[in-house]
Amino acid sequence: MALARPGEEMDTAAWARVFREAAALGVLQVHLSGGEPTARRDLPELVRAASEAGLYTNLITAGVLLDAAKVEALAAAGLDHVQLSVQDAAPASADRIGGLAGGHARKLEAARLVRAAGLPLTLNAVVHRQNLDRLPDLIALALALGAGRLEVAHVQYYGWALANRAALLPTRAQLDAATATVGAARAAHRGRLVIDYVIPDYHARRPKACMGGWGRRVLAVTPAGKALPCHAAESLPGLAFPDVREVPLAEIWHRSEAFNRFRGTAWMPEPCRSCDRRAVDFGGCRCQAFALTGDAAATDPACELSPHHALLDLAVREAAGAEEGFTYREMGRAAPPPR
């Protein structure tokens, strides 16, 4: 989960070529994420290159580096949509969770600038035990900011989130209340606000099809040019991820060992191999399976049929009495084991 340093990042021309290759491969959308994409000075040029390649361009940002000039430049370059992350509806809590004093106020200003530029806005609310009780306030915030969509995404426990699992896991009662809140809000605001809802695996009976299945729908490219089947795939040992500066995107997608390793169902062990959901959830998340069992090919412990499912139940019980402090991600610092 290391952050790429500026000198390791691909240059503008390389990204423009990748966008053209992606469009030729049949890709429809590019989601400019990070890290923090607005830290790149050439972001408007990247947006323009993606737009000229015929790709729908979506910026996923913390928003704290945006100002009026940057938003106007991005809109002029052809940006189609902005997703803005928020940590809470309560400013003090949001700043504590995000680790940035004044960050929440800067996000609200970024949302105002995005809407003033005529760009569609999605609010990304990452929820967990320490902010989930304020979900009604987050919904109200999305409405007040003029967002057309709200993504209520429970923390998924990989990398640094796994290291902070005990401080973040919600209780079952919190999850049930949140699910009811989302259902009521969807009905109340139909036609005005679309609400997407992603629940935590730790309270599920069956796993989700992570990224729609390994190597099926998503191709992620890191700032340093590594092509990945999912954002966290570099956490898996024994896989060599191709560099898009050296290998064409089509070759990577169709023929690379990394993208084919867990594609489809032939690789699956039991109980996945004979499960009637094997082509629905594809065995769940490979990164979560490795993080919890040490075996990337294991059945995702989120599945109640997994021999490791008890690990999730234990984590929920341990989190119930855990402290609420966080271990923050820093440059060059590896994620510690779960607390």
For 13-58, how does the pLDDT look when each residue is reduced to its tens digit (9 = 90+)?
A: 999 999 999 999 999 999 999 889 999 999 999 999 999 999 999 9
Enumerate long-range contacts of 264-270, CB under 8 Å, 24 or more apart: 267/297, 268/297, 269/297, 269/298, 269/299
Question: CB of 175 within 8 A of CB of 183?
Answer: no
Q: Write out pLDDT tens, residues 145-196.
A: 999 999 999 998 888 888 899 899 999 999 999 999 999 999 999 999 999 9
Q: Where are the domains of the chain?
A: 210-319
Cα–Cα distance for residue pair 31/219, rounded to 1 Å: 11
- ∠ CA 83-61-59, rounded to 5°: 60
Instruction: Report the 10 Å Cβ neighbour count for 327.
Output: 13
pLDDT at residue 160, rounded to an integer:
82
Please report the beta strands in the chain, taking only residues with DSSP state E, as ranges in sequence order.
Answer: 29-32, 56-61, 81-86, 121-127, 149-154, 194-198, 220-221, 227-228
Task: Express as a percent the part of the chain with pLDDT over 70.
Answer: 95
Confidence of residue 200 (pLDDT cuts 50, 70, 90): confident
- Tokens 């970024």 belong to 110
Mean pLDDT across the stretch 205-223?
92
- Tokens 């769940």 belong to 284
Cα–Cα distance for residue pair 335/173, rounded to 1 Å: 29
Please report the beta strands in 62-131, taking only residues with DSSP state E, as ranges in sequence order.
Answer: 81-86, 121-127
More confident residue, 158 or 65: 65
CA 81 to chain centre: 16
Phi, psi of 110 (to 5 degrees): -60, -40
Mean pLDDT across the stretch 128-135?
96
Residue 202 has pLDDT above 80, yes or no: yes
Mean pLDDT across the stretch 98-123?
97
Residue 226 has pLDDT above 80, yes or no: yes
Question: CB of 167 within 8 A of CB of 129?
Answer: yes
Its pTM surpasses 0.75:
yes
pLDDT at residue 16, rounded to an integer:
98
- Tokens 């969509």 belong to 149
Residue 214 has pLDDT above 60, yes or no: yes
Token readout for 120 is 């569609």
pLDDT at residue 48, rounded to an integer:
99
Q: Write out pLDDT tens, residues 242-269.
A: 999 999 999 999 999 999 999 999 999 9
Residue 326 has pLDDT above 80, yes or no: no
Exposed e or buried b per residue across 2-33, where buried means at least 16 C-beta atoms within 10 angstroms of its C-beta: eebeeeebbeeeebbbbbbbbbeeebeebebe
Question: CB of 168 within 8 A of CB of 160?
Answer: no
Cα–Cα distance for residue pair 309/165, rounded to 1 Å: 16
Residue 239 has pLDDT above 60, yes or no: yes
Confidence of residue 2 (pLDDT cuts 50, 70, 90): low
pLDDT at residue 4, rounded to an integer:
65
Report the chain's mean pLDDT, rounded to a whole number: 93
